[in-house]
Amino acid sequence: MAEEAINNDSSVQEQWGQICSQLKTEVGDTAFDSWLKPLTLGSFSDGTMNICVPTRFMRNWVITHYSDRIHKIWEKKNPAIKNINFVVQAVQEETPSLYNPTCRSLLKKITSTPAPQNVYQSGINALVANNNDTALNDTLSVPLNPQYTFDNFVVGKTNEFAYAAARKVAESRNVSFNPLFLYSGVGLGKTHLMHAIAWHIKQQDPSRNIVYLSAEKFMYKFVRALRYKDTTAFKEQFRSVDVLMVDDVQFMGGKDTTQEEFFYTFNSLIEEGRQIIISADKSPADLEGIETRLKSRLGCGLVADIHPTDFDLRMGILNNKAQQLGIELPVKVAEFLAQKITSNIRELEGALRRVIAHSQLLNDREITLDMTQDVLKDMLRSFDKRTTIDEIQKKVAEHFNISVKEMQSSRRARTVARPRQIAMYLAKQLTSRSLPEIGRKFDRDHTTVMHAVRKVEELIVEDASLAENVDALRRILEA
């Protein structure tokens, strides 16, 4: 009877259908949709039933978690099945009837779309880049900056530990510290180091699947997948990476569902022995709005911080950049810049670029201290007197005749909401605070700030009186 059943496609398919329903009740919808629904029946021979799994990662997971159970249930139903074998196989269009249509459409999408033509990205993120599912139709990995390499990273006292940790992770064949957690204030080299790790690994072994993306992008993709009810494909993309880098995880603060998904992804990858590299603006313990269990997971590998720059590092960076650009930078000018622009490396580079651009515009006029001071007058003034968000809130509230309390309240009346948006906009323009940091000052999340900034940018174009108000406020704050 058993042999008969096995020779009959529809009976086996029926049995598989029953097994699936039983498993679904046992493991719950989420686990079922993620891991078991994509399985499809393959061929049967010598008592062995082949079950197709779309990826290696999924195969390992299914074997560890579900194979015993599947075997037990099936054996009971059909003693002819002695073994179950899981094979990684992207199922082809012409595969016969023993086949799950949901899985087919998903696999077709994954396997048939050509990779995007991105020079920076070739070799990176191969599987992810090939997936052109509706819910996931742009690539996950952000292009890597070709300048952000270890060679271009100047090492000093303030960043040597983070640099050494990054190099170690990049050079190790085996996972060394997991995760590597890098943190610092803005513009101090976290992203540079992450890209450098990616470049290095890619150079050593182009077959490794590296995904680098910002936490914001992770959230965006996840929310999209939820909307399109396509979280399985979303999960699968992450779970097949060898090295996952997530930049600026502080942006996940307060986003509980995303954090949960990230936590899940994170744990599976760590268990699988894949390398994870994370950056944030604070240490794991100090991250705001991040669940305790995630914080403790983030901090359980190696935590390395980059300190604010010191004079020597600033000098080193200026000389290095000047050399790269083939520019003679007089020592006096370099010292002046290194003394004055202490906030972060991004601004230091910005200042240097301005000076160089000025000299080039004037037919390569010699770069002197006088010229530098003159070119950077405005910039330096604003460095001398950094505007704070508190000050912005106070001045904007005064200007529109409301209280700072009202500005921070949840009131949505236009008379309060508009000044609030303008204050957010000015905070983004005049300070180096991040969107979440600005949001916190207004008791809002970063997407609200982002929306406010866009809104005010639009209004400035459309509404002359509002533009005047914003301009007047800017002058007051910058005075």
Residue closer to Mg ion by CB (options 195, 340) is: 195
Residue closer to ligand ADP by CB (options 22, 319) is: 319
Stretch that binds ligand ADP, among 88-96, 136-144, 183-191, 438-446 (CB under 6 A): 183-191
Reading the block at residue 128, the tokens are 């992810």
Q: Is 213 in the site for ligand ADP (CB under 6 A)?
A: no
Q: Is 160 in the site for ligand ADP (CB under 6 A)?
A: no
Subset of 419-458 contacting ligand ADP (CB under 6 A): none
Supply the minimum distance, in Å, between the C-beta of residue 81 and Mg ion.
53
CA distance 182 to 372: 34
In eight-state DSSP terms, residue 308 is P
Q: Is 141 in the site for ligand ADP (CB under 6 A)?
A: no
Decide which of Mg ion, ligand ADP, none touches 189; Cβ closer than 5 to 8 Å per partner kind.
ligand ADP
State the virtual CA torsion across 233, 239, 242, 245 in degrees, nearest 10: 90
Supply the minimum distance, in Å, between the C-beta of residue 313 and ligand ADP.
7
Q: Is 301 in the site for ligand ADP (CB under 6 A)?
A: no
Subset of 177-206 contacting Mg ion (CB under 5 A): 190-191
Decide which of ligand ADP, Mg ion, none touches 42; Cβ closer than 5 to 8 Å per partner kind.
none
Supply the minimum distance, in Å, between the C-beta of residue 349 and ligand ADP.
6
Pairing of strands 48-53, 40-45: antiparallel
Supply the minimum distance, in Å, between the C-beta of residue 306 and ligand ADP.
7
Residue among 74, 148, 177, 199 that touches ligand ADP (CB under 6 A): 148
Subset of 336-355 contacting ligand ADP (CB under 6 A): 345-346, 349
What percent of the residues of the chain are helix, what percent strand, and what percent coil, each to the nearest 5? 60, 10, 30
Q: Is 197 in the site for ligand ADP (CB under 6 A)?
A: no
Q: How many other CB atoms are there within 10 angstroms of residue 390's CB atom? A: 11
Question: What's at 285, amino acid-wise?
Answer: A
Subset of 17-76 contacting ligand ADP (CB under 6 A): none
Tell me the CA distances in angstroms from 90 to 16, 138, 298, 332, 461, one per residue in order: 19, 21, 34, 64, 52
Tell me the CA distances in angstroms from 104 to 30, 35, 54, 96, one per residue in order: 20, 15, 10, 12
CA distance 141 to 59: 24
What residue has token string 């396509």?
230
**Is it true that the peptide bond before 116 is cis, omega within 30 degrees of 0?**
no
Q: Is 314 in the site for ligand ADP (CB under 6 A)?
A: no
Question: Where on the chain is the footprint of Mg ion (CB under 5 A)?
Answer: 190-191
